[in-house]
Amino acid sequence: MISKDLFKKPNNRLEGEQDAAKAARQAAAWQCAECKANATRDAMTANDYACPRCGAYVSMTARQRVQWLTDEGSFREMDAELLPVDRLRFPEYAAKLEKAQKETGEPEGVLTGTAAIGGEPCALFVMNPMFIMGSMGAVVGEKITRLFECATKRRLPVVGYTVSGGARIQEGMFSLMQMAKTSGAVLRHGEAGLLYVVVLTHPTTGGVVASFAMEGDVILAEPKALIGFAGPRVIEQTMRQKLPAGFQRAEFLLDKGFVDRIVPRKDQKQELRLLLTMHRREANR
């Protein structure tokens, strides 16, 4: 597991606001967490969720990512009715789930469905960094498994965006077993000759890295994304040494041979469209 501050929520909550105009102004205002530049949210989102001045990426919810990535009106969500189950009655988990659901307005940590990217149909999953650190519980594993199974049946390629602190502790072994389950579904999709492109975003770690995040035919990563099996703090404790700069960043993984390409956000739609086009079934004939 990795440190919580990797999953900072964007500063977009408004509470106890009296003046409606001031509220609207504040809602429209946005400040970069990196360079502290002031801009409007619209300018930031129009810049592909990057700071208009320094280019630093802004964390995206799953829904924002889907809206940003897919052709307008093309996303057909699947399995939205699946709700997490506190099978172990793990202390404080029910309350934690309720809080996450309230804060995100989502029932769980991943969105799945079919969509079009630049006119190319695909099955899509996008993980949500705001939902208990993007952790993988049984519903996350189940939805991703169902997506791959559906894509296999309908002969669709899968595009997946990962962001995760790893397995969800509060679901114990039900969480760990999702690694095996999703891997089985990815295998079957691949055996059917279908394409799986995964985009690793900041941060992708733990059980997700040790399963479907690393099982793509093509593995893309966002610049500077932290990607690793063990979190940096755990490694520092084990090794009793400071980690080298850039360790476990996307560029480091590219250098070591574990990532095909690092793709800036502004280029992702185009690159995904290209990949999907080049892997169309009829393109191979």
Partner 1 sequence: MTKAYERVLAARQKGRPTAMFFMERLFTDFLEMHGDRRFADDRAIVGGVARLGGLPVTVIGIEKGVATEEKIRRNFGSAHPEGYRKALRLMKQAEKFGRPVLCLIDTSGAFCGVGAEERGQGLAIAENLMAMMGLRVPILSLLIGEGGSGGALALGVADRVWMLENAVYSVISPEGAASIVWKDAGKAAEASEALRMTAEDLLGFGMVERVFSEEGGDFEQVCAALREALAAELDTLLRLEPGELTRRRYEKFRRIGGDGQ
Measured from the CB atom, is 59 or 175 closer to partner 1? 175
Are 196 and 157 in contact, with CB atoms under 8 Å apart?
A: yes
Q: How many residues bind to partner 1 according to rule CB under 8 A?
A: 59
Q: Crossing angle of helices 265-278/62-69, nearest 10°?
A: 60
Are 140 and 180 in contact, with CB atoms under 8 Å apart?
A: no
Identify residues 36-95 at the interface with partner 1 (CB under 8 A).
81-83, 85, 87-88, 90-92
Measured from the CB atom, is 19 or 92 closer to partner 1? 92
- Does residue number 151 form part of the binding site for partner 1 (CB under 8 A)? no
We find the least distance from the C-beta atom of residue 220 to partner 1, in angstroms, to be 15
- Does residue number 124 form part of the binding site for partner 1 (CB under 8 A)? no
| Cα Rg of the chain, angstroms | 19
We find the least distance from the C-beta atom of residue 189 to partner 1, in angstroms, to be 11
Nearest CA among 281, 117, 108 for reference residue 199: 117
- Does residue number 1 form part of the binding site for partner 1 (CB under 8 A)? yes
The dihedral sign for the CA sequence 73, 78, 81, 87: negative
Coil vs helix vs strand at 26? helix
- Identify which range of 12-20, 46-54, 121-129, 224-232 contacts partner 1 by CB under 8 A: 224-232
Kindly tell me which residue out of 114, 152, 164, 211 binds partner 1, with binding defined by CB under 8 A.
Answer: 211
**In sequence order, what are the beta bridge partners of 31?**
38
**In sequence order, what are the beta bridge partners of 115?**
122
Q: How far is CA 103 from CA 47, 69, 81, 119, 284, in A?
A: 25, 23, 18, 33, 46
**Contacts with partner 1, 158-197, as mask; x by CB under 8 A:** ---------x-xxxxxxxxxxxxx-xxxxxx--x------
Rule CB under 8 A: which residues touch partner 1?
1, 81-83, 85, 87-88, 90-92, 137-139, 141-142, 145, 167, 169-181, 183-188, 191, 206-207, 209-215, 228-230, 234-235, 238-239, 243-244, 247-248, 256, 258
